[in-house]
Amino acid sequence: MNASRTRLIARLDIKGANLIKGIHLEGLRVIGDPQAHARGYYEQGADELLYIDAVASLYGRNKLTSIVKHAAREVFVPLTVGGGIRSVDDVQDLLRAGADKVAINTAAVQRPELVSEVARRFGSQCMVLSVEARCVSEGRWEVFTECGRERSGLDAIEWCRRGVALGAGEILLTSIDREGTRKGFDVALTRAVCDTVSVPVIASGGYGETAHLLDVVARGGADAVAIADGLHYQRTTLPALRAAARAGGLDVRAFP
């Protein structure tokens, strides 16, 4: 799917109280205070914020509730939260804290009916299927869980199709191969998923320059782009991204 308006999303990976960033979802390095960064990205005009608890699945819990509560008081764009979400009750807690959507990876792979339970209870628009994929052969990608640590044996394209059939209203598609490399998004992966599902697809992992943003939307069909490294290290800003997107012919939200 490729909606007419492209969303620019700031991705914040969290470990404990810190904003962190890695390469291939590993080698996590502390960047700073997630609240300060979130507020800055909101003020720069981010269309949405995406919070991912990078170690929640490993320890079987989500620690983002307090961070989300704080963000919801200062940030007035949609908040998507993922990491360690294992039940409808976990989703309810995060929504009450101020999240608008939840992104679920590991627990959905382990128990696919959770996708349907969340969609039925809170609506498909709330249920984001988070898919972390690694290329395992030409034109084939496998789903990984536990923040990219564990193989699932699932074909990523087929899993996206199934997840949408179960009720997911959006796909957060992270390329483990490209994540943190600054080499560009996995356009082939994004295109394969967009050709398979009828819901919006967020491309994540690999932003290095504005040409990569234009490419994954134009050739990959992405509806939204999530950027972390480029923003955290101040290699670009959201106003610069917005201007480049508009110059490249993309329809992005006017700001301010």
Q: Which residues are catalytic?
A: 13, 132
**Burial per residue of 30-56, b for 16 or more beta-carbon CB atoms within 10 angstroms, e otherwise:** ebeebbebbbebbebbbbbbbbbbbbb
Q: How would you classify residue 206: left for phi > 0, otherwise alpha for psi between -120 and 50, otherwise beta? A: left
Q: What is the torsion angle, in degrees rounded to the nearest 10, for the CA atoms of residue 113, residue 114, residue 117 and residue 121?
A: -160
Closest by CA position to 140, among listed 188, 180, 183, 199: 188
Q: Which two tokens stand for residue 136?
A: 């395992």
DSSP state of 124: G
Measured on CA atoms in the order 197, 161, 127, 146, is the torsion positive or negative?
A: negative
